[in-house]
Amino acid sequence: MKNLPLIVNICSTRLKLALRRTFRYYSFGKSALSSISQKDVCLISEDLVSDDDGMMLSAQSSLARYNEYDEFSFSRKDVAEVVDKNSLFFNNLKAEDHDMKRIMTILTHRGWNITSFMCRIDLNEIKIIRIINDLYEESLDATLALYFFNWLECCSGSKHAIRTVCRMIHILVSGNINHRAMDKILHLVRNFGEAESCDLLLKILCETHTERRVLETACSMLVNCYVMENMVNIALKLTCAMENLNIFPSVQVCNKLLNELVRSKQLELAWKFLEIMQSRGMSLNAFIFSLFIHKCCSEYNIESGWKLLLEMKNYGIQPDVVSYTIIIDSLCKLSCLLEATSLLFKMMQLGISPDPVLISSVIDGHCKVGEMEKAIDILKVFNLPLNIFVYNSFISKSCSDGNMEKASRLFHEMSVLGFLPDCFSYTTIVGGYCKAGDMKKAFQYFGKMIKGGTKPSVTTYTLLIDTCCKSGNMEMAESLLHKMMTEGLQPDVVAYNTLMDGYGKKGHLQKVFELLGKMKSSNVCLDVVTYNTLIHSLIKRGFIKEAGEILDELIERGFSPDVVTFTNVIDGFSKQGNFEEAFLVWYSMSEHRVKPDVVTCSAILNGYCRERRMEEARRLFQDMIDIGLNPDLRLYNILIHGFCSVGNMDEACNLVSTMVEHGILPNNISHKALILGFEKKWVKNPVENAAFKLQEILLRYGIDFDTDEYLTMIKQPGGLETSFASENPLAKCCKLV
């Protein structure tokens, strides 16, 4: 053994040379191996003679004695490679040198010929498994076995066999280095994780184990890795195969698997697996049932969720606050506030204390349906301290009601009480003022938001952009988009669509397509609304053919056109009088399972009336009624105006009668159409005659119409021109007899 120091140094030098060759493509990260420095290349160990030739002879002499029985020993050429001139380099011993010395000492003690495999690195899997077993059994240090395992793979340039990896996994688990074991298993799953290979991995893990406890842990990790890689069905199959071996994953892994089965909507399999867990003696808890309850409620199947909550008692499990919260929150979202509130009080009777979040959720639900008093009552009953969430609920309700004075008062009160408004608070009140058309107030609160250090969201900016577009201030709208981007916020498809729609309505096609280009360059996915905006913008400028091409592109890209998409194109062709193309688009709606609505019908009716093709308009109107569509005031007015424009007053008056018979009162647009008809007939005082004709029709159905009051109203500036979408002045003069 007196030559052992020399052999150790030669082998260690050989290791460094091997590492130097392989370091280009392999790295151990935090492992003990390190790269070779220039100093290592220049220094020679004190244990070696300084003369190069003498050192060569010494090395050859030391190794010659092993050649007789060592099948992996150095040849003369090998020795020359190791101790080539200027190639034997060793600095002071580092950490990895110490580990390698330990390995050599242990293996020598176990009877291994260390010079053989250190020199040629061509061990088979049986020998490798024996070596790592010996290293662990002798040292009880799994990191040492792992060090040798990784070093060998690096030097050989090839990956270990599955059996060798599995044995290394068992050693790592035995040594409580589970995170490294997980890395190895995850690597196996990613490379050999197909359904056909999972049985093989389980088989080899079983064949390479020495302790039952370690095998169970390793198998549990294997199932966990399949779950992590979203191979849930394979994980379930593997679990069933393990059960035949009387092995089962841990409770934590079972819960993960169960969660993924529920998430992937495999409820039947999940329930069967739950029964298997129970048969294995695993204690079920409220969390597991909550998974099923949440899934049912997320699919609006609250009845099934409620049954599951009641079923918990049969398993000896008391529903907890989470289980009840899922049900109650789902009821609130569906506006089933009576049931949600009753369940909230039921919780109290069962001794389960609802948390502030749950109570606030119920309060918010009552606010959204306008039951402010009930919301306040709940607030008082549960003695819930006021918080920002509650204030936001009341502010949101006030804004949706258009009561901006109350919303502003609540906002101020919240601030005075020390509840700093958050982004939702500001966005809600800004949106409320935008809806009310008060741009000045909206921007005042927006300014307060920025000044107070609250960062606006994309939604905040989008609300302001929409308001600017509706008021025609496109310069301000685009400025807001740029400001949003400079603040580090990426505009979403809604923000872009809003600005595109504003430019499209003004006929600025170039701006619309510039924004489209920005969307694509920013990787913002286009949606149906984007295409609808493009189509509408093109049609507004008369590019009907191009709009039809956009519709084709939308379909080719896999989008599902909606009724607005088809209606826009139909309207464009109708305005051109190209009814053949309009009806081709109409018929294609059925292919995409889109049902025409009243607006779609009005687009073609408008075209017929404009072309004075009233007979075809009449037939289409009747067809529309036959397929179950109910005409609205706008549709009646289009047809009435069409007949009046050709002087057919009888048909126009019949339509007014039909409209009133179906409970739709005429408005000033109906009156204006009749005026046109009487003018065509050269009737004197057409305004008064049209009003009296309406009075005559309305009285037929028991409705009194004060013509004098109505005529006085419409004689005011702009009276007759009031849009039918606004308050109907004619209806204000009607009352039942």
Domain residue extents for the chain: 1-160, 634-737
> What residue type is assigned to position 554 of the chain?
L
Position 2 pLDDT exceeds 60: no
Position 493 pLDDT exceeds 90: yes
Distance from chain centroid for Cα 118: 53
Per the structure block, which two tokens stand in for 607? Answer: 């075209």
pLDDT confidence bin for 67, thresholds 50/70/90: very low
- Surface-to-core class of residue 385, CB atoms within 10 Å of its CB (0-12 exposed, 13-18 middle, 19+ buried): exposed
> What residue type is assigned to position 584 of the chain?
L
Tell me the pLDDT of the chain averaged across its residues. Answer: 78
Q: What is the 8-class DSSP label of residue 313?
A: G
Nearest-angstrom CA–CA distance, 131 and 268: 48
Q: What is the 8-class DSSP label of residue 201?
A: H
Position 367 pLDDT exceeds 70: yes
> What residue type is assigned to position 226 of the chain?
Y
Mean predicted confidence (pLDDT) in 296-318 = 80
Q: What is the pLDDT of residue 501?
A: 92
Position 468 pLDDT exceeds 90: yes
Residue with tokens 């890795």: 225
End-to-end CA distance of the chain: 124
Q: What is the 8-class DSSP label of residue 719?
A: S
Position 425 pLDDT exceeds 60: yes
Residue 705, beta-bridge partner list: 734
Nearest-angstrom CA–CA distance, 487 and 601: 45
Per the structure block, which two tokens stand in for 676? Answer: 């046109």
Q: What is the pLDDT of residue 565?
A: 87
Mean predicted confidence (pLDDT) in 152-177 = 85
**Number of neighbours of residue 593 by Cβ within 10 angstroms:** 7
Q: What is the pLDDT of residue 122?
A: 57
Mean predicted confidence (pLDDT) in 475-501 = 93
Angle between helices 178-192 and 162-174 (to 10 degrees): 160
**Number of neighbours of residue 491 by Cβ within 10 angstroms:** 24
Query: Measured between alpha carbons, how far is residue 552 from residues 526, 542, 555, 559 in Å?
Result: 15, 18, 5, 10
Q: What is the pLDDT of residue 74?
A: 30
Residue 703, beta-bridge partner list: 736
Q: What is the pLDDT of residue 63?
A: 30
> What residue type is assigned to position 56 of the chain?
M
For residue range 638-658, what is the model confidence (pLDDT) as tens digits? 999 999 998 899 999 999 899
Nearest-angstrom CA–CA distance, 711 and 719: 9
pLDDT confidence bin for 33, thresholds 50/70/90: very low
**Number of neighbours of residue 109 by Cβ within 10 angstroms:** 10
Per the structure block, which two tokens stand in for 313? Answer: 């008692």
In which element (H, E) is residue 110 found? none
Beta-carbon-side half-sphere exposure of residue 94 (alpha carbons within 13 Å): 14
Nearest-angstrom CA–CA distance, 603 and 615: 16
Cα torsion at 676, 682, 683, 684 (round to 10°)?
100
- Surface-to-core class of residue 583, CB atoms within 10 Å of its CB (0-12 exposed, 13-18 middle, 19+ buried): middle
pLDDT confidence bin for 727, thresholds 50/70/90: low
- At CA 166, angle to CA 163 and CA 172, rounded to 5? 145
Query: Measured between alpha carbons, how far is residue 604 from residues 356, 569, 578, 600, 664 in Å?
Result: 55, 11, 10, 7, 22
Residues with Cβ within 8 Å of residue 469, at least 6 apart in sequence:
477, 498, 499, 501, 502, 505
Selected residue with higher pLDDT from 241 and 448: 448
Q: What is the pLDDT of residue 717?
A: 57
Nearest-angstrom CA–CA distance, 508 and 503: 5
> What residue type is assigned to position 391 of the chain?
Y
Per the structure block, which two tokens stand in for 98? Answer: 């110490």
- Of the candidate ranges 4-18, 502-516, 595-609, the one whose mean pLDDT is the lowest: 4-18
Does the model's pTM come out above 0.75? no
- At CA 649, angle to CA 646 and CA 654, rounded to 5? 125
Work out whether the CA dihedral 603, 608, 609, 614 comes out positive or negative: negative
Total residues found in the chain within this entry: 737
Is the backbone of residue 301 left (phi > 0), alpha (psi -120 to 50) or beta? beta
For residue range 235-256, what is the model confidence (pLDDT) as tens digits? 888 888 888 888 888 888 888 8
Closest CA to 719 of 665, 675, 668, 666: 668
Is the backbone of residue 88 left (phi > 0), alpha (psi -120 to 50) or beta? beta
Work out whether the CA dihedral 609, 615, 618, 619 comes out positive or negative: negative
Residue 734, beta-bridge partner list: 705
Selected residue with higher pLDDT from 165 and 276: 165
Position 54 pLDDT exceeds 80: no
Nearest-angstrom CA–CA distance, 597 and 628: 10
Helix, strand, coil percentages for the chain (3-state, nearest 5): 70, 0, 30
For residue range 191-236, what is the model confidence (pLDDT) as tens digits? 876 666 777 888 888 888 888 898 888 888 988 888 888 888 888 8
Residue 735, beta-bridge partner list: 704
- Of the candidate ranges 155-159, 222-226, 450-454, 568-572, the one whose mean pLDDT is the lowest: 155-159
| Cβ–Cβ under 8 Å, residues 153 and 160 | yes
